[in-house]
């Protein structure tokens, strides 16, 4: 995997720490360096319970997000479709057979929300939240969404970065990653055209031929694998490409807003009272935190109780 990158640019493997080593975790988080927490999910009910029969049982009426994979299993985020969770599981069961039926669509479930906070987006699978424990070290006040990724493995998510701090946790299967510091962005051919997603690189890092992208060889990188039960902390802005192992692959990610994004979200006015005194307009703006406090505080309380 990633064998076309120059070996001499590969940095040592990432640090692995235990989930109880809060000092080390705090240090790495404030240094904004990726690291692995080796036992983050080993004791979550999800690690024991989650398989396709369990998902089928709890699927209910949920509608989830998925993408079509191309014939190289590359994930394109151009079009994210919606499908019932039940139908997705049926597709996945067939995909995992030794000889899947011809013409079967190759689907990968991405960014389907288990929970959302801070006026976050709609939630698709709240029934799975009880199977997790919220990692105590993530800043709960800035937790934005918890998302499920699910597929038959072999999928490749190309080089991109997230604006939020990310904790990517493997529940079933493994993931191989390349990570590149935001300081190297100038070498990474970031998309910059109108109507393009500028969080993505033009380089296909999985492509055998990187000659089209010579500057990528100026960037040092980390290469690592996350195993079942492990979580990788990816600070906001860090470029990453992800290859999932073959076979059932289940992962979660926790996105926490960066301080700036959290502040913008927090102070974003949602309503105002205006009045007129001697032909001058005065107004009081109410920040979203006042309304979101009432809508999310109960939710957060129950999350905290579980951890």
Ligand X SMILES: O=C(O)CCC(=O)C(=O)O
Residues 6+ apart with CB under 8 A from 303: 115, 129, 134, 140
Q: What is the CA angle 52-226-98, rounded to 5?
A: 40
Q: Number of residues interacting with ligand X: please give it, by CB under 6 A.
A: 11
H/E stretch holding 111 reads strand 107-116
Q: Is 166 in the site for ligand X (CB under 6 A)?
A: yes
Residue span 213-232 as binding mask against ligand X, x where in contact by CB under 6 A, dash where not? --------------------
CA dihedral sign of residues 61, 64, 68, 72 = negative
Least Å distance, CB 28 to ligand X, is 18
Taking contact as CB under 6 A, which single stretch among the options 51-59, 162-170, 278-286, 287-295 is the one that binds ligand X? Answer: 162-170
CA gap 234, 237 in Å, rounded: 8
Q: Is 168 in the site for ligand X (CB under 6 A)?
A: yes
Nearest to 215 by CA among 164, 180, 244, 261: 180
Taking contact as CB under 6 A, which single stretch among the options 99-107, 155-163, 217-225, 281-289 is the one that binds ligand X? Answer: 155-163
Q: Is 114 in the site for ligand X (CB under 6 A)?
A: no
Q: Is 172 in the site for ligand X (CB under 6 A)?
A: no
Taking contact as CB under 6 A, which single stretch among the options 42-50, 118-126, 161-169, 274-282 is the one that binds ligand X? Answer: 161-169
- How many other CB atoms are found less than 10 A from the CB of residue 251? 24
Q: Is 253 in the site for ligand X (CB under 6 A)?
A: yes
Least Å distance, CB 274 to ligand X, is 42
Exactly one of 242, 250, 256, 261 binds ligand X (CB under 6 A); which one? 242
Classify 113 as helix, strand or coil.
strand
Residue whose CB is nearest to ligand X in the complex, by number = 157
8 A C-beta contact, residue 31 and residue 24: no
- Write the DSSP assignment of 95-108 as a string of letters: HTSSSPPTT---EE
Exactly one of 251, 256, 257, 261 binds ligand X (CB under 6 A); which one? 251
Contact residues for ligand X (CB under 6 A)? 149, 155, 157, 162, 166, 168, 175, 242, 244, 251, 253
């Amino acid at each position: 995997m990633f064998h076309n990158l120059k070996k001499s640019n590969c940095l040592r493997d990432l640090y692995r720490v235990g989930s109880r080593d809060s000092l080390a975790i705090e240090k790495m988080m404030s240094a904004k360096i990726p690291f692995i927490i080796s036992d983050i999910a080993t004791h979550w009910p999800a690690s024991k319970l989650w398989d396709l029969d369990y998902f089928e049982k709890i699927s209910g009426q949920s509608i989830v997000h998925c993408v079509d994979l191309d014939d190289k299993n590359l994930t394109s985020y151009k079009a994210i479709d919606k499908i019932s969770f039940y139908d997705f599981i049926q597709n996945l069961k067939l995909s995992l057979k030794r000889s899947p039926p011809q013409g079967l669509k190759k689907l990968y479930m991405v960014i389907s929300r288990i929970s959302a906070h801070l006026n976050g987006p709609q939630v698709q699978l709240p029934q799975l939240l009880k199977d997790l424990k919220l990692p105590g070290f993530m800043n709960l006040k800035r937790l934005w969404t918890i998302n499920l990724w699910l597929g038959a493995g072999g999928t490749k998510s190309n080089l991109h970065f997230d604006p939020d701090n990310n904790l990517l946790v493997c529940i079933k299967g493994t993931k191989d990653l390349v990570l590149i510091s935001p300081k190297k962005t100038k070498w990474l051919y970031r998309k910059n055209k109108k109507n393009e997603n500028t969080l993505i690189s033009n380089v296909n890092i999985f492509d055998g031929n990187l000659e089209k992208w010579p500057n990528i060889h100026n960037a040092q990188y980390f290469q690592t694998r996350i195993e079942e039960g492990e979580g990788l902390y990816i600070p906001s802005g860090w470029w990453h490409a992800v290859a999932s192992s073959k076979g059932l692959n289940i992962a979660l990610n926790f996105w926490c807003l960066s301080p700036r994004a959290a502040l913008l979200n927090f102070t974003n006015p949602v309503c105002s009272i205006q009045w007129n005194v001697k032909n001058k307009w005065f107004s009081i703006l109410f920040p979203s935190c006042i309304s979101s406090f009432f809508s999310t505080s109960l939710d957060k309380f129950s999350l905290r109780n579980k951890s």
